[in-house]
């Protein structure tokens, strides 16, 4: 899915939680995602953590910090479902 995310408008997780994760490399930057959708790396992609996803806040903020350190803007592109 990582290679396809750059071509889509929306990337979403719909169940589960912070899993074993996967590593995504873009240029010289390497990211370890356990919770966030990989589309978060692409400015044209809206990212959703849908109902059914167990959000571990600590894990989520660690991943967001990783993005901030590499000047990756995710603001207004990450949405969490209000349904459970």
Query: Regarding the domain delimited by 2-80, which CATH topology (the fold level of the hierarchy) does it fall under?
Result: Adenylosuccinate Synthetase; Chain A, domain 1 (3.40.440)
pLDDT at 26: 83
What residue ranges do the domains of the chain occupy? 2-80
Where would I find the beta strands (DSSP E) of 1-84?
Answer: 10-13, 22-26, 29-33, 46-49, 78-80
pLDDT at 20: 76
As a dihedral over the C-alpha atoms of residue 56, residue 22, residue 2, residue 50, rounded to 10 degrees, the angle is -20
Looking at the predicted structure, is the pLDDT value of residue 72 above 80? yes
Give 3 or 56, the one with higher predicted confidence.
56
pLDDT at 1: 56
- Reported as a single tens digit per residue, the pLDDT across 26-41 is 888 889 899 999 999 9
Question: What does DSSP say about strands 78-80 and 46-49: parallel, antiparallel, or unpaired?
Answer: parallel
Mean pLDDT (the chain, rounded): 90
pLDDT at 60: 94
């Amino acid at each position: 899915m990582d290679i396809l995310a750059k071509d889509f408008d929306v990337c979403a997780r719909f169940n589960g939680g912070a899993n074993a994760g996967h590593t995504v490399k873009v240029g010289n930057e390497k990211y370890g995602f356990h919770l966030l959708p990989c589309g978060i790396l692409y400015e044209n992609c809206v990212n959703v953590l849908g109902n059914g996803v167990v959000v571990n806040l600590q894990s989520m903020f660690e991943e967001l910090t990783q993005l901030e350190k590499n000047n990756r803007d995710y603001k207004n592109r990450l949405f969490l479902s209000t349904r459970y």
